[in-house]
Each structure stands twice: as structure tokens, then as C-alpha cells.
Amino acid sequence: MTSTMESTVGRAVLGQGAAGRETADGAPLGALEAEVSALWQLRRAQGRALARLLHPRLDPSAVPLLAALGTQGAVRSTELVRRLRLDPSTLSRQISAAERLGLVERLPDPTDARARLVDLTPAAREKYTAFRAEQLEHWQRSVHDWSAADVETLTTLLRRLRADWAHTATDGADEA
């Protein structure tokens, strides 16, 4: 059985092998950029698939918000602004749109009666959890013949790349 993610995401980059994207001089940075770009395309396709699953009218740009809530649970919007690196007005519009679609709800903050928390609705959480399980199964199939050490090495290098990228993109002012 082909999963939703596999059928949607697989078509997004079909036939884009690493060798076809290397720079003319074979520079490693060009190849790195090409691989990261291909992964980004896969991730965007995955986000579109999740958006369709959650609600047919959901804008895929709101998927990072919903994924953050799916992972973190209820959180203040100020924390979401910081973690997602969004302008507060952009986040506010995304929350309002997702709320109108029945995907998020605003709850009282138990630690501060003046504040509100944002969280997925139970129905959205159920769909997100199912999608996340499917996503992890896809990861398992993708690296089934990798050693645990290879997976750990890639994870460590990606974490380092993300941190270094965030540091240079913001001059160190806002670590990822």
C-alpha cells in the first residue's frame, strides 16, 4: 500500500538524482546546496499533504504552526513567534484561519489568567498524530539498511548545519 505521503512526496522530486545537480566544477558546496534543496522540496510536498489531510482549505504555510502545536502541545503565541521565527501579525492570521477551520483552539493559560494558549483541537491532533506515525514509518523504510551509527551521524551533522546556518543568518542573535 502506498501511503499518502509517499505518493505525494515521491512525485515531487521524481528523477532528481544527486549526480544531475552537481555544479560544473564539482564543488562540494554546490552538491550540498542541491541536496538540501531537494530535501526542502520533499518537505514542502509533505507539508502540502499534511495540509490537505487536516483540512482541504488549509493554507500549507500554516503547517509549521500546526506541526509545532502537534509536537509541543498548548503554548502561548509569543513562544510560537519565537520558535517559528514569524512576525506576530503573520502568526495571528495563521492562528485565526486555523481556528475558523476548527483546527486550533485558544485556551486559558493556567499560570496567567490574562494569557491564552493555542493548541490543536482534539480532531486535528488525532489527524496530526496519524500523519506523524505514517511519516515515521516512511523514515524507517527510507533508512532501513542504514546502521544506527549512520543515522546518528547524519542527525548530528544536520543539527550542526541547522545551528550554523541559523547563527550566520542572524549573526548569532537568535540561535535555532
In words, the CATH class of domain 29-169 is mainly alpha
pLDDT in tens, 114-139: 999 999 999 999 999 999 999 899 99
How many C-beta atoms surround the C-beta of residue 134 within 10 A? Answer: 17
Does the pLDDT of residue 45 top 80, yes or no? yes
pTM of the model: 0.73
Does the pLDDT of residue 64 top 70, yes or no? yes
CA dihedral 46, 49, 55, 59 (to 10 degrees): 60
Q: Using CA atoms, how far apart are residues 39 and 33, in angstroms rounded to an integer? A: 10
Q: List, as one string, the DSSP characters of 47-59.
A: HHHHHHHH-TT--
Task: Give the domain ranges of the chain.
Answer: 29-169
Does the pLDDT of residue 98 top 70, yes or no? yes
Q: Using CA atoms, how far apart are residues 98 and 54, in angstroms rounded to an integer? A: 10
Residue for cell digits 503573520? 90
